[in-house]
Amino acid sequence: MKIYQAGPLFTEAEIFWHRSFTKRLKDNGHEVMWPGNFFTQEEIKAWGKDAPRHIMNRDRAAIDACDVVVALLDGTQVDDGTAWEIGYAYARNKPVVGIRTDFRNAGDTDHGCVNAMIEGSCVGIARDFAGVLKLFKEIEL
């Protein structure tokens, strides 16, 4: 399965988590497309004021090429770029699997764990890696 791995990648902790998660997905036989591997900081600097458009276009093309999106939903609010990726994937009829390792509730309802629009766009939200693999099995691709 081709997986687009979405989530914030602005801190060392986030990057470490994504690299570890990517490895685990690959070890389970999946192909992973992660924006942290799409471009370098040097490329971003060279793009100058056009960097946002380049970044968005590469991410969009990768989502178009994937079978499923896995999105890290940790934090008091889902990262805005991740939210865009989830919305785009949903609009393109790509299944989105959320993963929330954060124990805090950040939902709009008593039963939600994140923003209702995000949660409603996901086929399910797992709390750990095993839960993600379980949701993969439930998706008929």
Three-state DSSP state, 33: strand
Mean pLDDT of the chain: 92
Which H helix or E strand runs over 15?
helix 12-27
pLDDT digits (tens, 9 = 90+) for 23-54: 999 999 999 999 888 888 898 999 999 999 99
DSSP per-residue letters across 56-96: HHHHHHHHHH-SEEEEE--SSS--HHHHHHHHHHHHTT--E
Range of the domain at 23: 2-138
Q: What is the CATH number of the domain that holds 76?
A: 3.40.50.450
Given pLDDT bands bounded at 50, 70 and 90, which one contains residue 101?
A: very high
pLDDT at 141 over 70: no
pLDDT digits (tens, 9 = 90+) for 56-69: 999 999 999 999 99
pTM, to two decimals: 0.92
- The residues that bridge with 32 in the sheet, in sequence order, are 3
Given pLDDT bands bounded at 50, 70 and 90, which one contains residue 108?
A: confident
Q: What is the pLDDT of residue 106?
A: 77
Q: What is the mean pLDDT of residues 69-83?
A: 95
pLDDT digits (tens, 9 = 90+) for 124-139: 999 999 999 999 999 8
Tally of domains in the chain:
1
Q: What is the pLDDT of residue 87?
A: 98
